[in-house]
Amino acid sequence: MLALPTAQVWPFDASWRWPREIAGRAMDTYHRWMEVTIYATFAGLPCIAVPAGFGEHGLPMGLQLIGRPRADAALLRIAAAYETTIVDILARRPPAAL
């Protein structure tokens, strides 16, 4: 299994179409800022997103778990086991409005 963030940036201002720069690197298209999510799809691997925590502004971030080919059931078991260890994160909610 491979674990990666679900995005390259924390949630951003809703008025932005997309983040134009991440760590000094220009994001030339809408899709560039979230390209970390394409690897499982391109490889045809099972993938699931689970909660990972909250940033300094109280907004959530996820973790994508990527499994072996045709190992969907194993990936679901791992995700379920992971979620039993993050009860405090699952109980928390992002702020209503920023």
Q: What integer pLDDT is reported at residue 26 of this predicted model?
A: 92
Q: What integer pLDDT is reported at residue 97 of this predicted model?
A: 56
* 42 class by beta-carbon count within 10 Å (0-12 exposed, 13-18 middle, 19+ buried): exposed
Q: What is the pTM of this model?
A: 0.82
In Å, what is the CA distance from 6 to each residue of 43, 47, 63? 16, 11, 5
pLDDT at 98 exceeding the cut of 60: no
- Domain boundaries defined on the chain: 2-91
Per-residue model confidence as pLDDT tens digits over 10-47: 888 889 988 999 989 999 988 888 888 888 989 999 99
Per-residue model confidence as pLDDT tens digits over 48-94: 999 999 999 888 999 999 999 999 999 999 999 999 999 999 999 88
96 or 23, higher pLDDT: 23
